[in-house]
Amino acid sequence: MATITCTRFTEEYQLFEELGKGAFSVVRRCVKVLAGQEYAAKIINTKKLSARDHQKLEREARICRLLKHPNIVRLHDSISEEGHHYLIFDL
C-alpha cells in the first residue's frame, strides 16, 4: 500500500496542468484550496541544487517579495520542503 505524505504545500494547494519547464524547475497551475484562487507554482527540485544554487533560490524569493509593480507577477508564498521549493506567483 502506498503512503501519501501530507505537506504544507499539498494541504494548501492543488496542482493542475504544466505551464512551463526549465532545467531545475517546472511551473504548474495550482489552486489554493480554501480560497479557490488560482496561482502559478514554480516547483524547484532542490535535490539537484548546489549550495550556491540554494543561496540563489533564497535570494530570488527575497527579491520577488519586494517587487511591487503592475507589470511584474507577485510572489504570494514561498514554501521549502524536503526535496522541493515552491514559489507561488500570480497566474
- Mean pLDDT, to the nearest integer, of 72-81? 92
Residue 3 has pLDDT above 50, yes or no: no
Residue showing cell 499539498: 10
Half-sphere exposure of 7 (CA within 13 A, CB side): 12
| Confidence (pLDDT) at 24 | 82
**CATH for 8-90 (3.40.50.1000, 1.10.600.10, 3.30.200.20, 2.60.120.620):** 3.30.200.20
Q: Is the confidence at residue 67, as pLDDT, over 80?
A: yes
Tens-place pLDDT, residues 4-60: 455 789 999 999 999 999 988 999 999 999 999 999 999 999 988 899 998 998 998
The domain segmentation of the chain, as residue ranges, is 8-90
Whole-prediction pTM value? 0.86
Task: In whole angstroms, give the CA distance from residue 25 to residue 47.
Answer: 11
**Phi and psi of 12, rounded to 5°?**
-95, -25
Backbone angles phi, psi at 60, to 5 degrees: -60, -45
Q: What is the pLDDT of residue 6?
A: 59
Which ranges of the chain would DSSP assign to H, the alpha helix? 8-12, 51-66
42 annotated ligand-binding residue: yes
